[in-house]
Amino acid sequence: MRAVVTFLTLVCCVQVSLSEDVFEVEWINFKVDYEKIYQNDSEQLLRKQIFMHNKEIIDRHNERYAAGEETFEMGVNQFTDLLSHEYETLILGGLNATVDETEIDFIYSPTGNVEIPSAVDWREKGAVTRVKDQGHCGSCWAFAAVGTLEGQHYRKTGDLVELSEKNLLDCTSGEPYYNHGCFGGRITTALYYVKRNHGIDTARSYPYKDKKGHCRFDGRNIGATVSSIVRIRPRCESALAEAVATKGPIAVSIEATHLHHYRGGVIRESCHKRSNHAVLVVGYGHDTHGGDYWLVKNSWGNLYGENGYVRMARNQNNMCFIASNAVYPLV
């Protein structure tokens, strides 16, 4: 009897220290992969505890995913050391989802008699640039605006040119735009700036940095122009699908609460707050496990999600407000 008890204790101990070792390795890899540097030991300890807490959430969710009870998988990413309210305030919140109607030239309504394909992916047609990373700055609105403009410029000229988010970040704060740099902005206002300014610089001439600076727009380095701004009929997913199929990648705003630990698959949840992030819809399709989805380009680097992309449920009552504030420019 005694021998059995000892044996059991031993087995338990071995298991505990093993999973602790595994956890230590994961923590160290996380810090290396995402270049995490903490100010001091107490900050480091706090972040480690939050990482551990989030790892439990991720692991439990993934057990349900493996059992077929979830439509998307979670994983470690650059936000695994953040509490959910920190993720919402520090990472999201860069979007002002108010639409200034005076900036809109046209409303796109579905014609209904257009036959659209069952799946679309503008990456395959060469209309989408590489996945970028907004860094520590609430500049999602600039990335979404640039993304839809890059697509329209490509469709018109055949040239896929990376355009400058930094140009938008630096130059849309004052009158008459009133964006707030890294603390928030509107997608339509960014496009409206390009229209009024008669152009936006290329990313090569005006590279990104996750900090607002003085406006350094240079008319010699223009990569694209905007002639007018089109808004998709709000909250109408069939209008959005038709626009994505026939026009190109479309900038949208979403509530990104469920994106904190996203790794892959189709997010099929409900959103109850408000739009707090801007992204680019580059296509749509159907997944046997996750159902109908929108294919979404994010601006959190290509280690995030599915090589920088997220798939979000489509035809599920405008899930997370994805069709509420959708726009693209005419070039």
Identify which of residues 46 and 116 has a Cβ nearer to ligand NAG in the complex: 46
140 as an active site residue: the answer is: yes
Shortest distance in whole angstroms from residue 96 CB to ligand NAG = 4
Regarding 317 and contact with ligand NAG (CB under 6 A), the answer is no
Shortest distance in whole angstroms from residue 277 CB to ligand NAG = 15
Identify which of residues 39 and 118 has a Cβ nearer to ligand NAG in the complex: 39
Q: Which positions ≥6 away from 50 have C-beta within 8 Å? A: 80, 81, 82, 83
Q: Which of 54, 179, 298, 325 is catalytic?
A: 298
Among 32, 42, 112, 115, binds ligand NAG (CB under 6 A): 42
Q: Which positions ≥6 away from 207 have C-beta within 8 Å? A: 164, 166
Identify which of residues 24 and 43 has a Cβ nearer to ligand NAG in the complex: 43
**Distance set, CA 195 to CA 143, 169, 190, 227, 289 (Å):** 16, 15, 9, 6, 42
In order, the DSSP letters of 13-63 are HHHHHHHHHHHHHHHHHHHHHTT---SSHHHHHHHHHHHHHHHHHHHHHHH
Question: Residues 303, 33: contact at Cβ < 8 Å?
Answer: yes
Regarding 49 and contact with ligand NAG (CB under 6 A), the answer is no
Shortest distance in whole angstroms from residue 138 CB to ligand NAG = 11
298 as an active site residue: the answer is: yes
State how far the Cα of 318 lies from the Cα of 281, in Å rounded to an integer. Answer: 14
Segment interacting with ligand NAG (CB under 6 A) among 165-173, 178-186, 198-206, 210-218 = 178-186
Sign of the CA dihedral 193, 197, 200, 201?
negative
Phi-psi sector, 233: left (phi>0), alpha (psi -120 to 50), beta: beta
Among 93, 135, 184, 285, binds ligand NAG (CB under 6 A): 184
Regarding 43 and contact with ligand NAG (CB under 6 A), the answer is yes
Among 26, 73, 100, 287, binds ligand NAG (CB under 6 A): 100
Shortest distance in whole angstroms from residue 222 CB to ligand NAG = 26
| Token pair recorded at residue 59 | 């692991």
Beta bridge partners of residue 95, listed in sequence order: 185
Regarding 180 and contact with ligand NAG (CB under 6 A), the answer is yes
Among 15, 29, 49, 98, binds ligand NAG (CB under 6 A): 98
Regarding 39 and contact with ligand NAG (CB under 6 A), the answer is yes
Regarding 40 and contact with ligand NAG (CB under 6 A), the answer is yes
Angle at 133 between CA 146 and CA 137, to 5 degrees: 90
Q: Which of 140, 171, 182, 271 is catalytic?
A: 140
Output helix, strand, coil percentages for the chain, rounded to the nearest 5.
40, 20, 45
Regarding 139 and contact with ligand NAG (CB under 6 A), the answer is no
Cis status of the peptide bond prior to 249, with omega within 30 of 0? no
Identify which of residues 40 and 118 has a Cβ nearer to ligand NAG in the complex: 40
Residues labelled as active-site residues: 140, 277, 298
Give me the residues that bind ligand NAG (CB under 6 A), please: 39-40, 42-43, 96, 98, 100, 178, 180, 184, 186
